[in-house]
Structure 1
Amino acid sequence: MKALILAAGYATRLYPLTKEYPKSLLKVKNKLIIDHIVDKLKFIKELDEIIVVTNSKFITRFREWESGISIKKQITLVDDFTKNNAQRLGAIGDIWFVLKKNQIKEDLLVIGGDNLFSGGLNKFINFAGRNKPNVSIGLYNLKNLKDAARYGVVKIDNTNKVIEFREKPQNPASRLVAMCLYYIPRRYLKLVKDYIRIRKSTDATGNYIDWLKNRVDTYGFVFKGSWYDVGDHKYLSAAKRNFA
């Protein structure tokens, strides 16, 4: 199994903090966001490689980070060769870029580089293993219904199968939302290319999951504890205050 950390965005909503540093290399609770993620990934025994996709603007920063990290898993940095926000490939575009460039043919765990959540990943991996060869995604119950409008809102049945997905609805009907955390078995990796070809879209991962669930049974694992999607100053400040 491979893990792919998406860290190629330009985080313009976090300017000026992210003009010179990528969002994943900002600190929360005296630890880099990416280190919070890697510290969870290193305990997944099935995982043999952690791939971090970034861009030409920040690749040097990530090389500096990599040189100082000590972990038994292989770390691979991938430059998507974009230099500014206007050139960005988008999350789905970056997933496909890495699939092609690194010729990945194993199960893939995709995680957003701004995902902060308490607890580990092993329960999610076990859940995904039980549901193979289907797709599994991470879900979280927000405290505030209004905040759900920022995310993909999900409905699951009593088997945890995703039966409805609405990307950023104006009036969310549920507090259950999708995290940027996906377990994609190798047999379905090719669908990333199909989605780009059919939809002509490479950005919002939620739209991809909405499309995917109609082609592949997709199951949602509900995380407990705390979760922060560090997308702007408000949520970064909240994470710095409350994340544990």
Structure 2
Amino acid sequence: MKVLILAAGYGTRLKEIAKDLPKPLLPVNDKPLMEYIIERVEHINELNEIIVVTNNKFYSQFNDWAQSMRYDVPINVINDGSNSPEERLGSIGDIHFALKHAGIDEDLLIVGGDNLFDFDLKSYSEFAQVHRDSVTIGVFDIHNLEEAKLFGVVALDESQKITSFEEKPLRPKSSLIAMCFYYLPHTTFELMDNYLNSTEKTDKAGDYIKWLCQKIDVYGFKFSGKWYDIGSIEAYQDAQQNFR
């Protein structure tokens, strides 16, 4: 099993804070955000490699960081070749690039590089492995309908299978939102090829998950604990003050 960390964004909403330093390497209480993520994923059962996909602008910074770290699992940094926000491949484009470039043929757990959280991922991966014929995403109740408008909103049945998925709805039916945590069994990889052959939407992973829900069973694993989506200056400042 491998973990893929998405880190090819340009941090445009963080403005000057992330102008010369990629979001996942921004310090939170004197430690890069990326290190919090690594510490949570490195002890997942059967994990044999962590892959970080970034862009050409920040590749050397990530590579230097990875070479300075000592973890139980090797870290491989790959470059998607983009140099600006206009050239970016998007979330699905980067996942597809990583699948092909890194030759991934094992189950893959994908984590957004701007996620800061304190919960254990072992139970998530174990749940996903029980449903090996399906995709399992992470979901979280943010208890705020107004904020839910910024995310994909999901509904689950009693077995935690997703029964509806609405991307950034104007009137959310709940505050249970999809996170950038995706467990993709290797048997589902060809579905991404099918999706990309049918659309030009490569930016938002939510569009792919919504499409997947119409093709196969997709499950949602409910996380609880502290979680910050570092997508704005306000979210970054909130994490700096409150994450311990």
Using the size of structure 1 for normalisation, the TM-score is: 0.98
Cα separation, 2, equivalents of 1:201 and 1:223 = 28
3-state SS of 2:138 partner: strand
1:113 aligns with 2:113: yes
1:56 aligns with 2:56: yes
Residue type of the alignment partner of 2:11: A
1:129 aligns with 2:140: no
1:120 shift after superposition: 1.2
Residue 31 of structure 1 corresponds to 31
Residue 160 of structure 2 corresponds to 160
Residue 4 of structure 1 corresponds to 4
1:72 aligns with 2:72: yes
Residue type of the alignment partner of 2:221: F
1:183 shift after superposition: 0.3
1:21 aligns with 2:10: no
Cα separation, 2, equivalents of 1:192 and 1:3 = 17
Question: Deviations 1:133-192 (Å, cap 9, x if unpaired)?
Answer: 211000000021211011000000011000100001111110100110000000101111
3-state SS of 2:149 partner: helix
Residue type of the alignment partner of 2:125: I
Cα separation, 1, equivalents of 2:166 and 2:191 = 20
What is the root-mean-square deviation in Å for CA atoms of aligned residues? 0.9
Cα separation, 2, equivalents of 1:119 and 1:157 = 23
Residue 178 of structure 1 corresponds to 178
Using the size of structure 2 for normalisation, the TM-score is: 0.98
Q: Which runs of 5+ in 2 are unaligned?
A: none
Question: Deviations 1:193-221 (Å, cap 9, x if unpaired)?
Answer: 21111122101011110001111101101
Cα separation, 2, equivalents of 1:232 and 1:91 = 18
Instruction: Point out 4+ residue stretches in structure 1 off by more than 6 angstroms.
Output: none
Cα separation, 2, equivalents of 1:234 and 1:197 = 37
3-state SS of 1:237 partner: helix
Cα separation, 1, equivalents of 2:85 and 2:222 = 32
1:200 aligns with 2:200: yes
3-state SS of 1:164 partner: strand
1:235 aligns with 2:238: no
Does structure 1 retain, via aligned residues, the 8 Å contact 2:143–2:176? no
Cα separation, 1, equivalents of 2:175 and 2:130 = 25
3-state SS of 1:140 partner: strand
Cα separation, 2, equivalents of 1:241 and 1:31 = 13
Residue type of the alignment partner of 1:51: I
Residue 224 of structure 2 corresponds to 224
Question: Deviations 1:59-86 (Å, cap 9, x if unpaired)?
Answer: 1110121122110211101000111111
Does structure 1 retain, via aligned residues, the 8 Å contact 2:137–2:178? yes
3-state SS of 1:129 partner: helix
1:226 shift after superposition: 1.2
Aligned length: 244
